[in-house]
Amino acid sequence: MGRQLNLKYKNLLKDLFILLVVLFTNSCWSQDNRSFKIFQFPADKIPMINGDKSDWSIVPDSYSVGMQDLWEDSGKHTAIDSSNLAVHVKVGWVKGMNRLYFLYEAYDDYWDFASPGLHNDTFEVIVDGDQSGGPFIDRFHPNKNIDTLDAFFSFHGVHAQNYHIFTPAKEKDWTMVWGSQPWIKELPYANASYSYDFEPGEKGKLILEFWITPFDYAGNDPSRAVASILEENKNIGLSWAIIDYDNVDKKSNNGFWNLSKEHTMYGNASYALPFKLMPLEKEYQEKLKADWSYKILNMDERKVSFSDGSIGRVNTWKWDFGDGKTSEDKDPVHTYSKGGKYVVILEISGPDGKSRRSKVWDVVLK
């Protein structure tokens, strides 16, 4: 009896130990506190989409996401082997443009892209512009009774998008969009270009440049789409995976390298990681630059609000509204006595000097 009790006790301890390991592992796996950066390109240095990475030479290495940031979550590789696969990704944006730019550089010892279908070395990107999170493909739909095609047209890719990018694409579109909105992969919403010199089955290096437009809502009808608004110092949700086929067979891959710690990130935006839309690097920032915007509050009363958008340390503001009136307020509201086309000027000054911005006939009143 004592021996049996002792055996039961040992089995109980063993089961408890396994349970604690599982709980600890799952807890660590689900808690991912990493964040990454998106480089802001100056307006005069926007990268061309031509497969030439020289435009990206101004992007510091601190913006690069490499193999050391990925998990091979299929269990086929226990360590990084750069002789098998080596990948680096940089992401950029331009203030005032709702585009995300990507530079994808990859070395593979066996490029598999001969098939016209889904079997292809792949860079799979998910983007969630407003970090709304949640599932966005049918297998993760909370209503398990929903018809598959109904989910495809009403649910897939609506609040977050999945780009199944072929690397490289041979005799097919550069990406498969997982959802009913294939229009998002075409101009004026996206563009892509490759550079490589290998054939299927060979080794070599590939460069892929592309940009995409993130959407808060993107359904089957593009006229109803709502593009995400990209703002400086804000985060967006982003993740990607590299699916590496080495033609071992026609079904399985040779590795699934995931930036997220959750394999199912490809269909659930809650597993995307925060990427911060960074301000310009200091070397590209102007110390002082006048800028402003306006909004017509009431056309009948000709009431207009003006907002300072200047860069740098500003001590004084002087507005010339173009009708003989001026103001030294930072964000004045001005009422014009008559309609017309006006030249409005803002002059600013600060420790780093003076600057002026004139806008000709932006402000037009009836």
pLDDT of 189 higher than 60: yes
State residue 13's pLDDT score.
Answer: 52
State residue 28's pLDDT score.
Answer: 40
Is the CA virtual torsion 358, 359, 360, 365 positive or negative? negative
State residue 11's pLDDT score.
Answer: 53
Greater model confidence, 179 or 2: 179
Mean pLDDT, the chain, as a whole number? 92
For the entire predicted model, the pTM comes to 0.85
State residue 32's pLDDT score.
Answer: 83
Rounded average pLDDT over 190-196: 98
The pair of structure tokens assigned to 60 is 């510091």
State residue 46's pLDDT score.
Answer: 98
Give the residue extent of every domain in the chain. 33-277, 286-365
pLDDT of 25 higher than 50: no
Fold classification of 33-277 is Immunoglobulin-like (2.60.40)
pLDDT of 48 higher than 60: yes
Looking up tokens 């294939």 gives 182
Cis-peptide, bond into residue 279, ω within 30° of zero: no
Greater model confidence, 172 or 151: 172
Could you tell me if 238 and 127 are in contact, meaning their C-beta atoms sit under 8 angstroms apart? yes
- Pairwise CA distance, residues 104 & 128, whole Å: 19
Could you tell me if 307 and 291 are in contact, meaning their C-beta atoms sit under 8 angstroms apart? no
pLDDT tens digit sequence for 334-346: 999 999 999 999 9
For residue 245, what are the contacts with CB-CB under 8 A and spacing of at least 6? 112, 119, 120, 121, 122, 253, 254
State residue 199's pLDDT score.
Answer: 97
The pair of structure tokens assigned to 15 is 């089961």
The pair of structure tokens assigned to 59 is 């992007």
Rounded average pLDDT over 317-346: 98
Let me know if the fold of 33-277 is the same as that of 286-365: yes
The pair of structure tokens assigned to 189 is 């919403």
Is the CA virtual torsion 70, 74, 79, 84 positive or negative? negative
Q: DSSP string covering 183-197, please?
A: GGGSTTTEEEEEE--
CATH (residue range 286-365): 2.60.40.10
Q: DSSP string covering 75-135, please?
A: SS-SS--TTTEEEEEEEEE-TT---EEEEEEEEESS-----SSS-S-EEEEEEETT---SB
Question: What is the chain's percent helix, strand, coil content, to nearest 5?
Answer: 20, 35, 45
